[in-house]
Structure 1
Amino acid sequence: MVAIQKEVNPHFEDFLFDWNQKFQFLVGGYGSSKSYHVAFKLILKLLSEKRTALVVREVYDTHRDSTFSLLEEIINDLGLSHKIRCGSSPMQVKFPNGSKIIFKGMDKPAKLKSINNVSLIWLEECSEIKYAGFKELLGRLRHPSLKLHMILSTNPIGEDNWTFLHFFKDERNKRIVLDDQDLYKERTVVVGDTYYHHSTADDNLFLPESYIEQLDEMKDYDPDLHRIAREGRFGVNGKRVLPQFSERPHEEVMEAIRRLRDPIERVGMDFGFEDSYNAVIRMVVDHKKKYLYIYWQYYKNHMTDDRTVVELDEFKKSRELIIADSAEPKTIQYFKQEGFRMKGAVKFGGSRLANTKKVKRFKKIICSSDCPDVIRELKYLTYKEDKNGNIIPDEFKTDPHTFSAIWYGLDGYEVSDLKGGSVSVLKPR
Structure 2
Amino acid sequence: MKLKIKKVSLPKLIGKGYKDYWNFTGRYRVCKGSRASKKSKTTALNFIYRLMKYPGANLLVVRKVFRTLKDSAYTDLRWAIRQLQVDDYWDYKESPLELIYKPTGQKVLFRGLDEPMKLTSITVDVGSLCWCWIEESYEVTKESDFNMLDESIRGQVNGDLFKQITLTLNPWNEGHWIKKRFFDAEPCEDILAKTTNYLCNEFLDESDLRLFERMKAENPRRYRVAGLGEWGISEGLIYENWEEKEFDIQEILNNIPDIESSFGLDFGYTNDPTALFCGLISLSRKEIYVFDELYKKALTNRMIADEITSMGKAKEKIVADSAEPKSIDELYDYGLYRVIPARKGKDSINNGIQFIQGFKIIIHPKCSNFLTEISNYTWDKDKFDKPINKPIDDFNHLMDAMRYALEGFIEGDTFSFD
Q: TM-score, normalised by structure 1?
A: 0.50
Task: Give the Cα–Cα distance (whole angstroms) in 2 for the partners of residues 143 and 208 of structure 1.
Answer: 45
Superimposed CA distance per residue, residues 185-237 of structure 1 (whole angstroms, 9 cap, x where no aligned partner): xxxxx633101222111111111121122122123443322111111001314
What's the counterpart of residue 38 of structure 1? 43
Superimposed CA distance per residue, residues 296-333 of structure 1 (whole angstroms, 9 cap, x where no aligned partner): xxxxxxxxxxxxxxxxxxxxxxxxxxxxxxxxxxxxxx
> Match of 1:114, as an amino acid?
S
Task: Give the Cα–Cα distance (whole angstroms) in 1 for the partners of residues 100 and 235 of structure 2.
Answer: 42
The offset of 1:88, in angstroms, is 1.8
What's the counterpart of residue 149 of structure 1? 164
Task: Give the Cα–Cα distance (whole angstroms) in 1 for the partners of residues 36 and 135 of structure 2.
Answer: 15
Task: Give the Cα–Cα distance (whole angstroms) in 1 for the partners of residues 144 and 212 of structure 2.
Answer: 33
Q: Which runs of 5+ in 2 are unaligned?
A: 239-354, 359-380, 387-394, 404-418
Cα pair 1:11 1:203 within 8 Å, conserved = yes
Task: Give the Cα–Cα distance (whole angstroms) in 1 for the partners of residues 219 and 116 of structure 2.
Answer: 36
What's the counterpart of residue 130 of structure 2? 119
> Match of 1:70, as an amino acid?
D
Task: Give the Cα–Cα distance (whole angstroms) in 1 for the partners of residues 213 and 144 of structure 2.
Answer: 36
> Match of 1:210, as an amino acid?
S
What's the counterpart of residue 399 of structure 2? 387
Does residue 84 (structure 1) correspond to residue 95 (structure 2)? The answer is: no
Distance 1:30 1:73, change over 3 A: same
What's the counterpart of residue 34 of structure 2? 29
Task: Give the Cα–Cα distance (whole angstroms) in 1 for the partners of residues 24 and 6 of structure 2.
Answer: 20
**Structure 1 segment 330-341 matched on structure 2, within 5 A:** none
Task: Give the Cα–Cα distance (whole angstroms) in 1 for the partners of residues 235 and 76 of structure 2.
Answer: 30
**Structure 1 segment 23-422 matched on structure 2, within 5 A:** 23-49=28-54, 50-95=56-101, 96-116=103-123, 117-129=128-140, 130-145=142-157, 146-169=161-184, 177=185, 191-237=188-234, 239=236, 387-388=399-400
Distance 1:82 1:216, change over 3 A: same
Task: Give the Cα–Cα distance (whole angstroms) in 1 for the partners of residues 168 and 94 of structure 2.
Answer: 23
| Cα RMSD for the two superposed structures | 3.1
Superimposed CA distance per residue, residues 73-115 of structure 1 (whole angstroms, 9 cap, x where no aligned partner): 1212222111111212221111122321000111111110211
Runs in 1 of length 4+ with deviation above 6 angstroms? none
Cα pair 1:54 1:122 within 8 Å, conserved = yes
Superimposed CA distance per residue, residues 143-198 of structure 1 (whole angstroms, 9 cap, x where no aligned partner): 322421011111112111111121134xxxxxxx15xxxxxxxxxxx633101222
What's the counterpart of residue 374 of structure 1? none
> Match of 1:211, as an amino acid?
D
Cα pair 2:215 2:222 within 8 Å, conserved = yes
The offset of 1:3, in angstroms, is 5.0
Q: Could you say what secondary structure the match of 2:192 adopts?
A: strand
**Residue of 5, 8, 24 corresponding to 1:5:** 8
Aligned length: 237
Task: Give the Cα–Cα distance (whole angstroms) in 1 for the partners of residues 134 and 218 of structure 2.
Answer: 31
> Match of 1:387, as an amino acid?
M
Task: Give the Cα–Cα distance (whole angstroms) in 2 for the partners of residues 94 and 390 of structure 1.
Answer: 41
Q: Could you say what secondary structure the match of 2:138 adopts?
A: helix
Task: Give the Cα–Cα distance (whole angstroms) in 2 for the partners of residues 142 and 27 of structure 1.
Answer: 25
Superimposed CA distance per residue, residues 228-277 of structure 1 (whole angstroms, 9 cap, x where no aligned partner): 11110013146469xxxxxxxxxxxxxxxxxxxxxxxxxxxxxxxxxxxx
Superimposed CA distance per residue, residues 46-78 of structure 1 (whole angstroms, 9 cap, x where no aligned partner): 101121110011111111111101111121222
Distance 1:83 1:90, change over 3 A: same
Q: Which runs of 5+ in 1 are unaligned?
A: 170-176, 179-189, 242-349, 354-359, 366-383, 392-429
Q: Could you say what secondary structure the match of 1:135 adopts?
A: helix
Q: Could you say what secondary structure the match of 2:148 adopts?
A: helix
Report which stretch shifted further, 33-42 or 190-199: 190-199
Distance 1:76 1:168, change over 3 A: closer
The offset of 1:387, in angstroms, is 2.0
Task: Give the Cα–Cα distance (whole angstroms) in 1 for the partners of residues 178 and 218 of structure 2.
Answer: 27
Cα pair 2:21 2:29 within 8 Å, conserved = no
> Match of 2:167, as an amino acid?
L
Task: Give the Cα–Cα distance (whole angstroms) in 2 for the partners of residues 203 and 148 of structure 1.
Answer: 28
Q: TM-score, normalised by structure 2?
A: 0.52
